[in-house]
């Protein structure tokens, strides 16, 4: 295995080290912090470069160690040592593939934290239960990936599950990793809510958009927005408090709806909802730019609620399949427990290659 295969063309060592040296010198300039926005951007760039260079060095050293193990094992006819070295190489290959994709997350907002909205489709309790399962899946993925995750808003179903939920996931490249998860997710299973044990098909939509920086100016005309307040409630209908502290904002020109109920203060929830609305409008602008840049490819892509990106089949057989890349897993339990990296990496690589551009419009 050659690291150059995975890093070549996407990680320029000489350029990276020179740029890091330049950033380190600029960080020592006391006048830099006269412009706090510029300073924050440069510090984030420095942190990312330090991480990339550190990962490269670590993988390079691990590669050398694994090769040395194999050579020693072969010299001494020690199959166990050879096997250990080969296992190390296999692990490095998987990591190098992931790092190669991570290095390509160079979109305008790829490095940002992200919001993930999940909405149940038509189908009542069955779809609402499916929305709840997807919410848990993304929370488990975030935890497994070392990200911080917070439930911003949830609207419980009448009997079980969730009508909708919004997660905030914080960490490096959170939006970049999850951005291709936007779309319609389909579940096929024997319904636990059907006394006749019939097979049901359920749908839920996922919408991913970045948390934007405070210094990004997004103009919103207050007269374009309808603000509603309501009582925040948790799963099972238990009220978080007894006042109308939850806030929902509807942006009428676009139909975008955002809500927050995590705080007991209506003022705080209003601020969070405004921030989410700014993020949604910013993401919409990013999407317009990408659609324009990829007009020919986008024109061949079916867009909207009817477009499914992934199918999860629990009966009559066990399989999860990404309909864009063909990648599949025969272990739905692991996938629903957050093991979705293979699908994320595959869809990102597919998208970056330019062989498919999959975008989904507002599903509200």
Which of the four pLDDT bands, split at 50, 70 and 90, describes residue 192? confident
Asked if residue 124 and residue 18 are part of one domain, the reply reads no
Which residue, of 39, 74, 102, is where some domain finishes?
102
d(CA 66, CA 63): 5
Q: Which secondary structure element, helix H or strand E, spans residue 6, and what is its range? A: helix 3-7
Question: Residue 235: pLDDT above 80?
Answer: no
The answer to whether residue 302 is domain-embedded is yes
Tell how far CA 285 is from the center of its chain. 18
**Residue 107: inside a domain, yes or no?**
no
Residue 236 clears pLDDT 70, i.e. is over it: no
At 220, the pLDDT band (50, 70, 90 cuts) reads confident
- Which domain does 301 fall in, by range? 114-352
Would strands 162-170 and 256-260 be described as parallel, antiparallel, or unpaired? Answer: unpaired
Residues 6 or more apart whose Cβ sits within 8 Å of residue 115: 152, 166, 167, 168, 169, 208, 209, 210, 211, 276, 279
Number of C-beta neighbours around residue 338 at 10 A: 17
Mean per-residue pLDDT for 283-287?
Answer: 80
Q: What's the pLDDT at 338?
A: 97
The answer to whether residue 295 scores a pLDDT higher than 90 is no
- Token look-up 């005309």 returns 221
Angle formed by the axes of helices 36-75 and 13-27, to 10°?
A: 140
Greater confidence (282 vs 341) lies with 341
Q: Are residues 33 and 155 in the same domain?
A: no
Per-residue pLDDT averaged across 76-91, rounded? Answer: 90
Q: Is residue 295 part of a domain?
A: yes
Q: Which of 52, 67, 102 is the last residue of a domain?
A: 102
Distance between start and end Cα atoms, the chain = 47
On the question of pLDDT at 173 being above 80, the answer is yes
pLDDT (average), residues 69-79: 91
User: Among 364, 129, 100, 352, which Cα is nearest to 257's?
Assistant: 364
pLDDT average, residue stretch 282-311:
60
Q: What residues contact 4, with CB distance under 8 A and at least 6 apart? A: none
Does residue 201 lie in a domain region?
Answer: yes
What pLDDT is recorded for position 10?
47
363 inside domain: no
In a domain, 241, yes or no: yes
Q: Same structural domain for residues 123 and 143? A: yes
- Sheet holding 308-313: strands in order across? 148-156, 162-170, 114-120, 199-210, 183-190, 308-313, 319-322, 328-329
Angstrom distance (rounded) from CA 358 to CA 336: 22
With residue 228 as reference, give the H or E element that holds it: strand 225-230
Q: Is 127 exposed, middle or buried (0-12, 13-18, 19+ CB in 10 A)?
A: buried
Same-domain status, 65 and 130:
no
**Measured distance CA(275)–CA(287) in Å, rounded:** 18
Residues 243 and 337 in one domain: yes
Q: Is residue 108 part of a domain?
A: no
C-alpha radius of gyration, the chain, whole number: 23
Task: Report the pLDDT averaged over residues 15-19.
Answer: 84
**Does residue 357 fall inside a structural domain?**
no
Reported as a pLDDT band with limits 50, 70 and 90, residue 244 is: confident
Number of domains in the chain: 2
Mean per-residue pLDDT of the chain: 82
What was the pLDDT predicted at 45?
80
Its pTM stands at 0.68
């Amino acid at each position: 295995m050659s690291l150059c295969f995975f890093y070549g063309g996407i990680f320029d060592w000489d350029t990276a080290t020179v740029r890091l040296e330049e950033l380190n010198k600029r960080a020592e300039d006391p006048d830099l912090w006269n412009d706090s926005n510029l300073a924050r951007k440069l510090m984030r760039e420095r942190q990312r470069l330090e991480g990339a260079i550190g990962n490269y060095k670590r993988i390079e050293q691990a590669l050398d160690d694994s090769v040395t193990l194999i050579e020693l094992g072969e010299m001494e006819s020690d199959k166990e040592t050879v096997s250990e070295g080969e296992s190390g190489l296999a692990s490095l290959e998987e990591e190098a593939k992931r790092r190669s994709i991570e290095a390509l997350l160079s979109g305008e907002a790829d490095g940002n934290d992200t919001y993930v909205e999940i909405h149940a489709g038509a189908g009542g309790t069955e779809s609402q239960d499916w929305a709840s399962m997807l919410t848990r899946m993304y929370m488990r993925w975030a935890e497994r990936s070392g990200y911080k995750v917070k439930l911003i808003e949830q609207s419980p179903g009448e009997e079980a599950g969730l009508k909708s939920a919004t997660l905030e996931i914080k960490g490096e490249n959170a939006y970049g990793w999850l951005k291709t998860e936007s779309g319609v997710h389909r579940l096929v299973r024997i319904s636990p809510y059907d006394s006749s044990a019939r097979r049901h098909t359920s749908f839920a939509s996922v919408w991913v958009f970045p948390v934007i920086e405070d210094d990004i100016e997004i103009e919103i005309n207050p007269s374009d927005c309808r603000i509603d307040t309501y009582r925040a409630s948790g799963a099972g209908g238990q009220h978080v408090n007894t006042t109308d502290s939850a806030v929902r904002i509807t942006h009428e020109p676009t139909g975008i709806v955002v809500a927050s109920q995590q705080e007991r203060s209506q003022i705080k929830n209003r601020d969070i909802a405004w921030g989410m609305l700014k993020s949604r409008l910013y993401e919409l602008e990013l999407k317009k730019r990408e659609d324009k840049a990829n007009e020919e490819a986008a024109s061949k892509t079916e867009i909207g609620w009817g477009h499914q990106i992934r199918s999860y089949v629990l009966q009559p057989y066990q399989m999860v399949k990404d309909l864009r890349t063909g990648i599949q897993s025969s272990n739905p339990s692991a996938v629903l427990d957050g093991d979705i990296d293979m699908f994320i990496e595959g869809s990102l690589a597919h998208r970056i290659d330019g062989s498919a551009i999959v975008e989904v419009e507002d599903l509200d």
